[in-house]
Amino acid sequence: MFQYIVRRILWGIAMLFIVSAVVFLIFYILPSADPAVLRAGRNAGPAQIAQIRHSLGLDQPVWRQYLNYMGQVFLHFNFGYSYQYNVPVRQLILNRLPATIWLTVGAVIIWLSVGLTIGIVSAIRRRSILDRTTMTGSLALISAPVFWLGLVSLYLFADDIGVWKIFPGQGAFAAASNPLQKAEAMILPWLVLAAATSAIYARYMRASMIDTMSEDYIRTARAKGLPERTVIRRHMVRSAITPIVTLIGLDVGTLLAGNAILTETVFNIPGVGRLLYNAIGVSDLTVIQGITLFGAFFIVFFNLVVDIAYAYLDPRVRYS
């Protein structure tokens, strides 16, 4: 088990190196625009641009640029300065991270509790009206774009523009001063962000449960004379949920990495996703690059968590 964890951690570190090399390739070797020109602003002359190029180190050989970049990223945790705001990218991201964590954690709790419950119940009551209704509904939710769902929910329920003024609307999170207000402001974003994912999880869980049901060991559990509830809870769900853990890790990782970009934009939540959205709009390359690296870090980290959790959940993994 210890060996396994060490192996996974080493692999995770190797992954980070590979990812950062790819990011370097994209942002330094094949940039979509000349970073020096972007940095210099609109009315800069050639001399000014050349000077900026020099100060950014872009006139150095590629290998030196690479070493420089890797040293900054891994030793100093420095992702450079935003062209737009002229502050460290690290600072920008760390400022925006709390809002994204708020959004992600709440949404994860909702989609897990709703999605898994629906998945389990529909699998057990397969082909019932409940099963058909929830599975059709989930397909609709998966198909509904987040920005559309977000706007519709604001139109219907936001306390400023809504038909029924129930929940705080756009920008409420940024304005909130205490955790209770923040949570209240998050209700609509949570629901919107969790909607499609709940639906996906419900379908995954249902399929996983149905796979598990026909396993021989479920027959054994019944043959033991266990009550059906115990068969479902202790034997079926326990097995069926294990593959879902992989999904959770990946989804949480990508959300923290700015994947909630649409939800954050629609609800005007000052999170990493919105930062990314703005940065793309003004070609703020260092910010985009920083968020990409940050995202890669989260994804590698949560993958590691998933691998360890998996070994805990499935004893067969520990020995392979």
Residues in contact with another protein by CB under 8 A are 215-217, 219-228, 234-235, 238-239, 242, 313-316, 319
Of residues 253, 252, 279, 254, the one with CA closest to residue 265:
279
Which of residues 34 and 215 has its CB atom nearest to another protein in the complex? 215
Q: How far is the CB of 310 from another protein (least distance, A)?
A: 11
Minimum distance from residue 252 beta carbon to another protein (Å): 23
Extract the tokens encoding 124: 């057990």
User: For another protein, which is the closer residue by CB, 48 or 242?
Assistant: 242
Residue among 30 and 223 whose Cβ is closer to another protein: 223
Phi and psi for 170 in degrees, rounded to 5?
Answer: -55, 140
* CB-nearer residue toward another protein: 90 or 318: 318
Of 73 and 221, the one with the shorter C-beta distance to another protein is: 221
Query: How far is Cα 20 from Cα 252, in angstroms, rounded to an integer?
Result: 20
In angstroms, what is the minimal distance from the CB of 234 to another protein?
Answer: 8
Overall residue count recorded for the chain in this entry = 320
The residue (of 134 and 239) whose beta carbon lies closer to another protein is: 239
Kindly tell me which of 159 and 314 has the beta carbon lying closer to another protein. 314
Beta carbon of residue 134, minimum distance to another protein (angstroms, whole number): 21
Q: Which residues, listed in sequence order, are joined to residue 167 by a DSSP beta bridge? A: 158
Quote the least distance from Cβ 141 to another protein, whole Å.
30
CB of 206 to another protein, least distance (A): 17
Nearest approach, Cβ of residue 225 and another protein (Å): 4
Return the number of the residue (129 or 216) whose C-beta is nearest another protein: 216
Minimum separation from the CB atom of position 244 to another protein (A): 14
Distance CA 99, CA 48 (A): 38
